[in-house]
Amino acid sequence: MDTATPARPNVIWIFGDQHRAQALGCAGDPNVHTPNIDRLAAEGLTFTGTVGGCPLCSPYRGALLSGRYPHNSVPGHEHQLPPAQPTIAHAFNDAGYHTAYFGKWHVDGFHERDGRAAMHIVPPERRGGFQQWVGYENNNSQWDCWVHGGAGDDAFHRRLPGYETDALTDLFIDYLRARGGHDEADTAPQPFFAVLSVQPPHDPYVAPEQWMRRHTPGAIVLRPNVPAIPRVVDQARRELAGYYAMIENLDWNVGRIRTALDEAGLAHNTHIVFFSDHGDMHGSHGQFRKTNPWEESMRVPCIIGGHVPRYANHAGRVDAPINHVDFGPTSLGLCGLDVPDWMEGTDYSGLRLPGRAASDLPDSAY
């Protein structure tokens, strides 16, 4: 009789910046081809009512990491994530998980006034408790991405080769390969919680040429709420051509990650949570970028996927209003872990896992 203890599930987060919910093939956008994300959605649970309750990078990220609303964590770009504030990494660390973070951080205060924020070094004690951390504060230059990490004699600061999403995915895949290599029947290896946070599709809207050449401004189908004002239409089409190219590149990298999970023997036991921090108006209501209280700015993708067969995962679409503070509690819930009392969000894992009782779910998001 096999007495091996089943391995505890892993969780990975994959999220881009400024990716609105409407900009996916599975969401019905005719401009973009996203087969890998669409497959994740087909196999997983899509939360169609997901919002970035504060559609601005730093407040969202502070709430995401802490499970606490921006007024209790990071209310604006100029504020740091309080060093004494526990994060989701601490919760997973306490449960015996390995934790790792790769990519954009943007919760260490406003540093653009001091020069390029990519050159700002986030000290180890302000990296949210992650055991492995390779990232940058802010960048906004996808072909010139610098990352740092380590501490003391092991500290490093280097420029990534090529395009940001590709290079960060390379680092993420190296991590997955290092965590893999165990047979499914092995006595449980250390589980992990790992985050890949990339800047694209945040402006500037540029991507490798193989994706850029797929989109021309004149062929872009605009949303019906983009007003027929020539300057608005022209800017929206021009920027969306690059935006969709960035999303298709991100989709390709999602496919690379899933292949790496398969090859490392991790796919059978890893929950994949795909989302974004906020959206992008792209001319809707005559507006551009974010911070606006409209669907294109506030509503973001959210898919909980991955093939974890012993959990008999629920798939499909639900309209539950998951918010920035809910990703931490939900991710802990996917692993059967208790939600710490300092988190203010809701655990939605019961909608994905049939054997886990759903908590009382709110009917709105703040």
What percentage of the chain reaches a pLDDT higher than 90? 68
Mean pLDDT of 8-14: 96
Higher pLDDT, 198 or 55: 198
Beta strands 192-197; 10-16: pairing state: parallel
Reported as type and span, the H/E element at residue 178 is: helix 164-179
Query: Which pair of structure tokens corresponds to residue 150?
Result: 């380590």
- Listed in sequence order, the DSSP H helices in 49-139 are 57-66, 88-94
57 as an active site residue: the answer is yes
Mean pLDDT (the chain, rounded): 90
- Cα–Cα distance for residue pair 12/260, rounded to 1 Å: 13
- What pLDDT does residue 125 have? 94
> Which CB contacts under 8 angstroms, 24+ apart, belong to 144-153?
144/118, 145/118, 145/199, 146/118, 146/119, 147/103, 147/171, 148/121, 148/122, 151/124
Separation in Å, CA 142 to CA 61, 111, 171, 217: 20, 18, 16, 21
Mean pLDDT of 11-34: 96
Which of the four pLDDT bands, split at 50, 70 and 90, describes residue 194?
A: very high
Q: What is the pLDDT of residues 216-245, one digit of tens each?
A: 999 999 999 999 999 999 999 999 999 999
Say which range, 7-11, 155-159, 272-276, 354-358, has the weakest mean pLDDT: 354-358
Q: What is the pLDDT of residues 79-106, one digit of tens each?
A: 888 888 999 999 999 999 999 999 999 8
- What pLDDT does residue 251 have? 98
Q: Quick check: 188 pLDDT over 80? A: no
CATH topology of domain 12-351: Alkaline Phosphatase, subunit A (3.40.720)
- What pLDDT does residue 119 have? 83
- Cα–Cα distance for residue pair 187/189, rounded to 1 Å: 6
Which of the four pLDDT bands, split at 50, 70 and 90, describes residue 175?
A: very high
Phi, psi (rounded to 5 degrees) for 204: -70, 145
Mean pLDDT of 179-199: 80
Query: Which pair of structure tokens corresponds to residue 111?
Result: 């540093």
User: Which of the residues 19, 54, 57, 120 is marked catalytic?
Assistant: 57
Spatial CB neighbours of 134, under 8 Å, sequence gap ≥ 6: 101, 102, 103, 147, 148, 149, 171
- What pLDDT does residue 1 have? 39
Cis peptide before 204 (omega within 30 of 0): yes
Q: Quick check: 357 pLDDT over 70? A: no
Q: What is the pLDDT of residues 37-51, one digit of tens each?
A: 999 999 999 999 999
Q: Quick check: 181 pLDDT over 80? A: no
Spatial CB neighbours of 57, under 8 Å, sequence gap ≥ 6: 17, 77, 106, 138, 277, 278
Which of the four pLDDT bands, split at 50, 70 and 90, describes residue 331?
A: very high
Q: What is the pLDDT of residues 145-161, one digit of tens each?
A: 999 999 888 999 999 99
Say which range, 77-81, 114-118, 268-272, 350-354, has the weakest mean pLDDT: 114-118
Residue with tokens 């023997």: 265
User: Which of the residues 19, 90, 98, 106 is marked catalytic?
Assistant: 106
106 as an active site residue: the answer is yes
State which amino acid sits at residue 270: T
Spatial CB neighbours of 246, under 8 Å, sequence gap ≥ 6: 16, 142, 165, 200, 201, 205, 206, 207, 211
Say which range, 189-198, 202-211, 278-287, 350-359, has the weakest mean pLDDT: 350-359
Which of the four pLDDT bands, split at 50, 70 and 90, describes residue 2?
A: very low
Say which range, 7-16, 27-36, 102-111, 344-353, has the weakest mean pLDDT: 102-111
> Which CB contacts under 8 angstroms, 24+ apart, belong to 21-24?
21/48, 21/50, 21/279, 21/295, 21/299, 21/300, 21/301, 22/223, 22/279, 22/295, 22/296, 22/299, 23/201, 23/243, 23/244, 23/247, 24/247, 24/301
- Cα–Cα distance for residue pair 366/349, rounded to 1 Å: 19
pTM (2 decimals)? Answer: 0.93
Separation in Å, CA 67 to CA 63, 163, 344: 5, 31, 6
Q: Quick check: 142 pLDDT over 90? A: yes
Go through 2-29 and write b for each residue having 16 or more CB atoms within 10 A of its CB, e for each that does not. eeeeebbbbbbbbbbbbbbbbbbbbbeb
- What pLDDT does residue 220 have? 95
Domain ranges of the chain: 12-351
Cis peptide before 321 (omega within 30 of 0): no
